Amino acid sequence: MPAVIWPLTGLDATDADPATVERQAIAVKIDNSTGVNKAIPQAGLDQADIVFEEYMAKGGWTRFVAVFHSDYPEIVGNTRSLRPMDPYIFGSFYGTIVFSGAASPTLRDALALSDQIYVAEDLLNCRPTFYQRSGKHRPYSTYVKLYEAEKCGLARGASPAPQQFDYAYPDDAATALVSGVPVSVISLKFSRTQTQHWRWDAASAAWLRFQGADAHLQQDGQQITATNVLVLRAGVRYKYHDDPETLLAGTDHGTGYIASGGKYVEIRWSKADRRDAFHLETLDGTPVYLLPGKTWVELLPAWGTGEVQVLSFDATTITTSR
């Protein structure tokens, strides 16, 4: 294990500026609609250390909670609204969550969590953080200047980012490599409109992300990649009319899968409360170790959406739900 690691990737930070290693994590809500009004391609998403993909009801699209720490890109976007589960996804990071807009009940409940730090366009706080990008129309034109968001978070008392997952040293001790099954393609059908794919690329030792048949590219032309793909199954409830909430906090036995290095293995997960990190273990109770690097967390609904979700490995269906 390196003497110093980046807490959200587990990569070697021995030569990094200590102040940078100890800075806050910043989460940005990013849209992923792919219909007529496309939110893609995004900017900065490929530089996040950890990304959570969450189910959305309207149109069946997904959105991201992208968490930045080891790298603060200059611009991130486009930025969209806060959802009921976001403070529970990000609560264990003790940093700043940035968003543009929120339904009134969702914003009310979020602000009641007084220990959470929010930077929001509609709260009229930290306005230099946001700008409208020319050539795009609302709600797809709002982008974030991450260093301005950093200033706002510091002013409100954001804490250094704590480690979220356990990492393997050396690499071949990673849980999926030790006991996993080889896999080339992971497919996740979130809804009738969105199916995501991760394809293992041995040459780059990374998972390549696709949306439908198309490579998921950023505005700079870079394809999204990940070292680890973590699939967590969780129920969904409709808290406010058509606003879904992925149920995470208080879960003591959720199911899931971890894929690293071209292999996958079934796991269990738990999260005691909002401020607790996700705890991962194998089916026999052994702690799960990820490969050092970027992690994508796919919050695939286990029930409650009213439409079909499917998880497949190499075209073999592992589980379905609705």
Q: Are strands 309-313 and 185-189 parallel, antiparallel or unpaired?
A: antiparallel
Closest listed residue to residue 239, CA positions, set 102, 138, 130, 79: 102
Mean pLDDT of 5-13: 98
For 144-157, how does the pLDDT look when each residue is reduced to its tens digit (9 = 90+)? 999 999 999 999 99
Closest listed residue to residue 62, CA positions, set 70, 72, 51, 73: 51
For 200-254, how does the pLDDT look when each residue is reduced to its tens digit (9 = 90+)? 999 999 999 999 999 999 999 999 999 999 999 999 998 877 788 999 998 888 9
Long-range contacts of 270-277 (CB under 8 A, 24+ apart): 271/88, 273/91, 273/249, 274/87, 274/88, 274/91, 274/92, 274/113, 274/249, 275/91, 275/92, 275/94, 276/91, 276/92, 276/249, 277/92, 277/162, 277/164, 277/165
For 275-312, how does the pLDDT look when each residue is reduced to its tens digit (9 = 90+)? 999 999 999 999 999 999 999 999 999 999 988 999 99
Closest listed residue to residue 193, CA positions, set 53, 57, 11, 5: 57
pTM score > 0.75 for this model? yes
Distance CA 54, CA 66 (A): 11
Q: What is the pLDDT of residue 125?
A: 78
- Which residue reads 């290095």 in tokens? 261
- At 28, the pLDDT band (50, 70, 90 cuts) reads very high
Residue 158 predicted with pLDDT over 70: yes
Distance CA 297, CA 54 (A): 9
Tell me the two tokens of residue 2. 């390196």
For 109-129, how does the pLDDT look when each residue is reduced to its tens digit (9 = 90+)? 999 998 899 999 877 678 889
Give CA torsion, residues 118, 276, 68, 196, to 10 deg: -110
| Rg of the chain over all Cα atoms, to the nearest angstrom | 18
Bridge partners (DSSP) listed for residue 265: 258
Q: What domains can you pick out in the chain, each with its CATH number? A: 18-155 (3.50.90.10), 171-230+242-321 (no CATH)
CB atoms within 10 A of CB 238: 14
Mean pLDDT of 34-52: 86
**pLDDT above 90: percentage of residues in the chain:** 81
Residue 35 predicted with pLDDT over 70: no
Q: 52-61, 177-186, 290-299 — which is least confidently predicted?
A: 52-61
Residue 58 predicted with pLDDT over 80: no
- At 8, the pLDDT band (50, 70, 90 cuts) reads very high
Q: Which amino acid would we find at residue 197?
A: H
Distance CA 176, CA 263 (A): 6
Mean pLDDT of the chain: 93
Q: What is the pLDDT of residue 319?
A: 84
Residue 37 predicted with pLDDT over 80: no
Give CA torsion, residues 186, 28, 192, 306, to 10 deg: 110
Tell me the two tokens of residue 9. 């990737």
Q: What is the pLDDT of residue 127?
A: 82
- At 36, the pLDDT band (50, 70, 90 cuts) reads low
Q: What is the pLDDT of residue 166?
A: 98
Mean pLDDT of 95-120: 92
Report yes or no: 51 and 66 within 8 Å, Cβ to Cβ: yes
Mean pLDDT of 79-108: 94
CB atoms within 10 A of CB 41: 15
Q: What is the pLDDT of residue 242?
A: 76
Distance CA 154, CA 142 (A): 22
Mean pLDDT of 28-42: 82
